[in-house]
Amino acid sequence: MRVAFVGKGGSGKTTLSALFARHLSRSGAPVVAIDGDINQHLAHALGLDEDESFPAPPLSAHLGEVKDFLRGTNPRIASREAMIKTTPPGRGSRLLRLLGDDEIHARHLHEVGGVPLMVTGAFDESDLGVACYHSKLGAVELYLNHLVDGSGEYVVVDMTAGADAFASGLFTRFDKTFLVVEPTRKSVSVHRQYREHAAEFGVPVAVVGNKVADEDDLLFLKEHVGDDLVAHCVRSDFVRAQEQGRAEGELEPHNAHALRLLRDAVDARTKDWDAFQKHAVEFHLRNAAAWADRATGHDLATQVDPDFRHGPVALAPGH
């Protein structure tokens, strides 16, 4: 199950991604956390020393190798150059299992605070303002497009702030998207924006309230986001202590309960692999027409394999 945390800058995406990923991994569930934000903070939120940098290479630093690995022997993808972030898998493509024994997990995964983590790599100027905006996130999109995950295993992605999260098809690759909302007018206005975007693509949005201080805060949230609210976290001394470099205490019972509610919300989703692949193809064709055919010099619609069925069936021998 793929889970994304999105929301206004500073709302608590990284904090909740870290808490949720750790909650899952402590329960014994297989988890991969991915830092997909412009500024890479998830490793530190999981407990990496502030003066240390994440030891495994970012996915974006090996995008070419990632593409070569994933395209495998798929005859429809002629080269790594012809493979773009939305190129969907087809027969011959290599599919990934969560935490599988493959070169991508081997090269990019490193455990922090008990949670296996991969990072996309910090964005720079060259990633902004071009047609393939957020190209660094392309590696995450490819990873998710080629992943066959099941219930009871989780990918948790800390996404970029604000509406940027909708700049690519990436946001349709999740089973559950949690919008982190603080009890402020700015934060709830982001909720309205998201809702509209997400509805266009049939992506359900679930709200997690954060930094809730009292009953008035909770009422404010309920008034503005209504039934979208699945859980809320209160202001946490535990989080604050961690941020000050003091690893002390336990997460407050209220916040621990909120994490269990989030997990229940994820577990309640059922996967629809045919719909997942259909959306991947739609986004790919849209990208191809908008910029990628021109940029690559290929007719990228020919990469779509109409007979490919994604999901566990695609892992069966001889598929």
Ligand X SMILES: Nc1ncnc2c1ncn2[C@@H]1O[C@H](COP(=O)(O)OP(=O)(O)OP(=O)(O)O)[C@@H](O)[C@H]1O
Residues that bind ligand X (CB under 6 A): 7, 9-15, 37, 41, 161, 210-211, 233, 235-236, 239-240, 243
Binding mask 18-57 for Mg ion (x = CB under 5 A): -------------------x---x----------------
Task: Map tokens 């909302």 to a residue.
Answer: 181
Residue nearest to Mg ion (CB): 14
In the list ligand X, Mg ion, none, the entry touching 309 (Cβ below 5 to 8 angstroms by class) is none
Min dist CB 280 to Mg ion, Å, is 26
In the list Mg ion, ligand X, none, the entry touching 235 (Cβ below 5 to 8 angstroms by class) is ligand X
Between residues 123 and 308, which has the closer beta carbon with respect to ligand X? 123
Min dist CB 159 to Mg ion, Å, is 9
Q: Which of 11, 14, 87, 287 binds Mg ion (CB under 5 A)?
A: 14
Between residues 12 and 88, which has the closer beta carbon with respect to ligand X? 12
Q: Token pair for residue 195?
A: 């809702």
Query: How, if at all, do strands 147-148 and 2-7 pair?
Result: unpaired
In the list Mg ion, ligand X, none, the entry touching 286 (Cβ below 5 to 8 angstroms by class) is none
Separation CA 198–CA 196 (nearest Å): 5
Between residues 127 and 149, which has the closer beta carbon with respect to ligand X? 127
In the list ligand X, Mg ion, none, the entry touching 172 (Cβ below 5 to 8 angstroms by class) is none
In the list ligand X, Mg ion, none, the entry touching 30 (Cβ below 5 to 8 angstroms by class) is none
Binding residue count for Mg ion, defined by CB under 5 A? 4
In the list ligand X, Mg ion, none, the entry touching 210 (Cβ below 5 to 8 angstroms by class) is ligand X
**Residues found in the chain:** 319
Min dist CB 12 to ligand X, Å, is 4
Whether 6 contacts 194, CB under 8 Å = yes
Q: Write the burial class of residue 59 (CB in 10 Å: 0-12 exposed, 13-18 middle, 19+ buried).
A: buried
Separation CA 18–CA 113 (nearest Å): 9
In the list ligand X, Mg ion, none, the entry touching 138 (Cβ below 5 to 8 angstroms by class) is none
Between residues 8 and 85, which has the closer beta carbon with respect to Mg ion? 8
Task: Map tokens 């609210």 to a residue.
Answer: 229
Query: Taking CB under 5 A as the criterion, which residues in 277-306 touch Mg ion?
Result: none
Whether 42 contacts 158, CB under 8 Å = yes
Q: What is the distance, to the nearest Å, from the Cα of residue 246 to the centroid of all Cα atoms in its chain?
A: 28
| C-alpha closest to that of 288 among 76, 105, 41 | 76
Min dist CB 37 to Mg ion, Å, is 5
Separation CA 96–CA 63 (nearest Å): 16
Alpha-carbon separation of residue 157 from 15, 45, 168, 242 (angstroms): 12, 13, 15, 21
Min dist CB 256 to Mg ion, Å, is 21
Separation CA 291–CA 97 (nearest Å): 31
Q: What is the distance, to the nearest Å, from the Cα of residue 203 to the centroid of all Cα atoms in its chain?
A: 14
Number of H helices, E strands in the chain: 11, 10
Min dist CB 120 to ligand X, Å, is 13
Separation CA 280–CA 145 (nearest Å): 7
Between residues 93 and 210, which has the closer beta carbon with respect to ligand X? 210
Between residues 43 and 83, which has the closer beta carbon with respect to Mg ion? 43
Between residues 21 and 70, which has the closer beta carbon with respect to ligand X? 21
Separation CA 27–CA 200 (nearest Å): 35
Separation CA 48–CA 218 (nearest Å): 32
Residues binding Mg ion (CB under 5 A): 13-14, 37, 41
